[in-house]
Amino acid sequence: MKRKGLLIIVALLLLLTTACGGSGGGESAKGSGDEPVTLRIAWWGSDKRHEYTQQVIDLYKKDHPNVKIDVEYASFDDYWKKLAPQAAANQLPDIMQMDISYISQYAQNGQLADLTSLLNSTIQVGDVAESVLKTGVIQEKQYGIPTGVNVLGYQYVPEMAQKAGVEIPASWTWDEYKEIAKKAGGNGFYFDSSMAADIFFNYYLRTKGLSLYNKEGTALGYDDDQLFIDFFGGLADVMKAGGAPTPDVNSQTKGILEESQIVKGKQVGEWQWSNQYVALQQVVNKPMKMAAMFGPDMEKGIYMQPTMYWSVASSSKVKEEAAKFIDFYTNNVEANKLIKGERGVPISAKIKDAVASELNEATKQVFDFVAEMEPKASPMSPPPPVGSPEVIATLTDYVEQINFGKMTPQDGAAKFRSDANSILSNNK
Amino acid sequence: MTGYAFISPFIIGFLAFTLIPMFVSLYLSFTSYNLFTPPRWVGLDNFEKMFTADPKYWNSVKVTFLYVVIGVPFRLMFALFIAMLLNTKSRMVGTYRTLYYLPSIIGGSVAVSIMWRNIFSNEGVINTLLGALGAQPVQWFGDPNAALVMLIALSVWQFGSSMLIFLAGLKNIPYEMYEASSVDGAGPVRKFFSITLPLLSPIILFNLIMQTISAFMTFVPAYIISKGEGGPMDGTMLYSLYLFRQAFMFNNMGYASAMAWVMLIMIAILTAVLFMTSKFWVFYETERGR
């Protein structure tokens, strides 16, 4: 009887081990023309993005019947929650969408494959501007291929600007912006919903020839706290004058485009990335325009930002095959007719021209705006260092307290400096 | 032996998903671990940072204690009140019991938290009601204290499970007692304090401890209502939400493990304290009233 029980336990244990060991098929390391290959692709985004990405994948599978593709997608927050444990378990997807604020962390910890040797052999980048491609380089290695480029701007509804009694000039300064926004506030309209703290503070610093992080990513990249005080103090003043909704109104509608003040007809425009324009215009459903960033020295401030990257996991057994897909995404005309610049304006000049005729009005505006800004833009600062998500959360916290009037900009500046530097000092 | 074979799925599951992970997290709490590079032993650094250099941590402890200390008593009072109402012999009472229990079934869910957000929004139902009553509308998302009140209200509203347990307890009180006290001339208030409460006290203790533990670990409502950020100004930054942010947003797994163990110890101490006080107010029939 005892022996029988033991046997059952052993049998169960065996069953368990085989069940666990069943993953990870024996793919060949080469992945030549027609052997069966399985690729895992992961990305974050909206339903619209999931839809067309699936269509692009189906298109790819039509051309490559030997390739099987498993997809994993999620919202931005959930995506990173899933990816980190996968990295710890050495089970990252072959191809991942990478965000600029995380790529350093993944690259420097050896999670991503260096694609330098595959450029112009598997991944054709002959039509891509050097400066754009360089944004995916960390410590001399190509860890990411940008999916497209973005540029900052002010996206607004001209009809609303008229109602609010303001005019958006072709070029403006920081001081003029504050004047105009306060004027709109005085007339009972929000001018914007304030600005994303980390992105626009970094822009403001760039116009002064500085940046949020130093080159090595070991400390903040500016020494004068007055810059912090001027920028965030200025935004808080605009808010006080009614030029932007108070933080509690903002927090209620955060992430729900349909409920935002601009859709309700109470707000003139938004400061954001160019690839967010199309979605906003669709929901607002009125003619919209894009204006350049405020100066002075706007040219120093703006840069072509990779919307996101495609990266390949260093643990992938089918890097060559993964690169083939990235090449397809970057250089295939049919695929890009489905993508329609949703992940930023295509990086290949040839593709940009090929799909231009197929675009709807809003997307065309984005392409034109990016084309207009490209010659003026300066090189991007290095990607944010390891620990930047925590620095950004800290900054957002203090800015919130400043906007609520619970903290002076002076205190916020000093506190942010000490917190951020203690987080970043781990990178030394 | 055959018996062990049959319960082995549970044993294996318990080892693989509970016991071993617990000890791993105990080890991790003494390390600096970001999921990418191997854990680095740092001794008591995490605990030192927690207690001396992290104001956000203390804020989360404060918020959680407020949530527990205010929320749990209100929840129990409410549950007892409704249980007394439902402890009658009218028809339809079954329907009402079901209705009152519903919020708790759907309680921890995302949908309820989203609904709660909308009820309390600036133009929401609550502010409309306040306006109708001539009071000033409250900016529930603009003030840390108001946001916490909103969370506590949500937890009070989900009183169903403790209500059912109270109901069972009330059914156990012999009707003769009430009859006898009526003969002695006791009114309803006197009956409540002299009969119902003492005889119900063991049940109250049970509910108090269970609810305290679960309130301590509350996560979903705070996560949804504040969109994962614990705002406004960390007013809804409950302990478990802060732990989650440290673990999965900043990848500070070592620090988060240390937080989890401190939380375990806190809950253990609190439970012990509740048990110790119980001998002063919990009445067991076998003790013949001390």
Q: What is the structure's pLDDT at B37?
A: 82
Q: Which of A195, A165, A179 is nearest to A241 (CA)?
A: A179
A408/A415 Cα distance (integer angstroms) = 11
Question: Chain B residues with CB inside 8 Å of A401's CB?
Answer: 233
Inspect the interface and report whether the beta carbons of A389 and B249 lie closer than 8 Å: yes
B103-153 confidence digits (pLDDT tens): 777 756 777 888 888 888 877 888 899 888 888 888 888 788 888 998 998
Cβ pair B255, B46 in contact under 8 A: yes
How close A252 gets to chain B, by Cα (Å)? Answer: 7
**Does A25 touch chain B if contact means CB atoms closer than 8 Å?**
no
Inspect the interface and report whether the beta carbons of A248 and B232 lie closer than 8 Å: yes
B66-104 confidence digits (pLDDT tens): 999 999 999 999 999 989 888 877 778 888 888 888 877
Pick among B35, B37, B42, B45 to test the A interface (most A CBs inside 10 A): B35
Q: What is the structure's pLDDT at B250?
A: 87
Out of A198-207, A319-328, A377-386, B226-235, which region has the weakest mean confidence (pLDDT)?
Answer: B226-235
Question: Chain B residues with CB inside 8 Å of A16's CB?
Answer: 12
Closest partner CB to B122 (pick from A1, A84, A249): A249
Closest partner CB to B233 (pick from A4, A12, A400): A400
Inspect the interface and report whether the beta carbons of A81 and B250 lie closer than 8 Å: no
Inspect the interface and report whether the beta carbons of A12 and B234 lie closer than 8 Å: no
Q: What is the structure's pLDDT at A93?
A: 96
pTM (predicted TM-score): 0.84
Cβ pair A166, A180 in contact under 8 A: yes
How close A397 gets to chain B, by Cα (Å)? Answer: 7
Looking only at the bridges linking them, the beta strands covering B31-32 and B40-41 are: antiparallel
Closest partner CB to A251 (pick from B34, B141, B248): B141
Question: Chain B residues with CB inside 8 Å of A1's CB?
Answer: 1-2
How close B217 gets to chain A, by Cα (Å)? Answer: 20
pLDDT range class, residue A158, cuts 50, 70, 90: very high
A244-254 confidence digits (pLDDT tens): 998 888 777 76
**A21 has pLDDT over 60:** no
Looking only at the bridges linking them, the beta strands covering B40-41 and A141-142 are: unpaired
**B254 has pLDDT over 90:** yes
Cβ pair B76, B204 in contact under 8 A: yes
A142/A231 Cα distance (integer angstroms) = 34
**A19 has pLDDT over 60:** no
Q: Which of B176, B15, B147, B53 is nearest to A252 (CA)?
A: B147
Beta bridge partners of A154: A271, A291
Q: What is the mean pLDDT of residues B12-18?
A: 92
- Residue in chain B nearest A82 by alpha carbon: B248
Question: Chain A residues with CB inside 8 Å of B34's CB?
Answer: 105, 109
Question: Chain B residues with CB inside 8 Å of A399's CB?
Answer: none
A14/A360 Cα distance (integer angstroms) = 59
